[in-house]
Amino acid sequence: MTSGRFEEEAAYFAHRAWESLKLSLPVELARVADKLGIVVSERDFDESIDGLYLRLPGAPPVIAVNTSYVKPPARRRFTLAHEIGHHLLSHDLNTESRLFFFDTFSTRRTFIERACDRFAVLLLMPEDLVRAHYAELEHNPGKRVAVMAERFGVSTWALRRRLRELGLQTRPARKR
């Protein structure tokens, strides 16, 4: 499987989740996971761990998210979305096979990891909604990023990155 195919699948799954589950902002990740039959567990892991995805034969797929105090809620949400991405992107593997992914600050950024990040970005911040909210807050550029981050349930860092990717300014234009 090529990296391009993973990225395409990530986009497809994010789009499909929005359509089939009639999602709204901020995305109810627990509902997405539940719909997919994934058991989500919260755990106070070592701070080096963000989360993990585990699939054992005879057991439902399990995601564990690190709820350590050093992981802000927005970070946890991104991790959960990323781990859901692991579940979806490994859909064509035998359901009786054992599967294990874990994510840490030092996890190698393989193309599957990048595709899961992509899925998380597209699920949490769909382009049309980002553009719509960006335009709506046009007259409040000073607080736009903070307000949008709150609405989308993501960190301001992740939101700025998404805005830049879409060619949208992240800072108010200088007054002349």
Partner 1 sequence: MSRVSPGFGNLIRAFLASKKLTFRAASLESGVSAAYWTDMASGRIPSEDVIEKIAAAFGEINENELRSAAGYSLKPGTTDPVEAVDFVLRGQDKLPEKAKREILDFVRETAEKYSGGKSST
Point out which residues bind partner 1 (CB under 8 A). Answer: 41, 43, 45-46, 48-49, 52, 54, 56-60, 62, 64, 96-98, 100, 102, 104, 106
Q: DSSP state, 36?
A: T
109, 121, 107: which is closest to 154 by C-alpha?
121
| Residue with smaller CB distance to partner 1, 24 or 94 | 94
| Residue with smaller CB distance to partner 1, 52 or 154 | 52
Q: Are 86 and 120 in contact (CB under 8 A)?
A: no
| Residue with smaller CB distance to partner 1, 52 or 149 | 52
- Closest distance to partner 1 from the beta carbon of 42 (Å): 11
- Closest distance to partner 1 from the beta carbon of 79 (Å): 14
- Closest distance to partner 1 from the beta carbon of 96 (Å): 6
Q: Are 30 and 38 in contact (CB under 8 A)?
A: no
Beta bridge mates, 55: 99
Structure tokens at 33: 């996971």
Q: Are 124 and 40 in contact (CB under 8 A)?
A: no
Q: Look up residue 173 and give its amino acid.
A: A
Q: Where do runs of H (alpha helix) occur along 36-155? A: 73-89, 111-124, 127-136, 144-152
DSSP 3-state of 42: strand
- Closest distance to partner 1 from the beta carbon of 137 (Å): 40
| Residue with smaller CB distance to partner 1, 91 or 98 | 98
| Residue with smaller CB distance to partner 1, 65 or 88 | 65
- Closest distance to partner 1 from the beta carbon of 44 (Å): 9
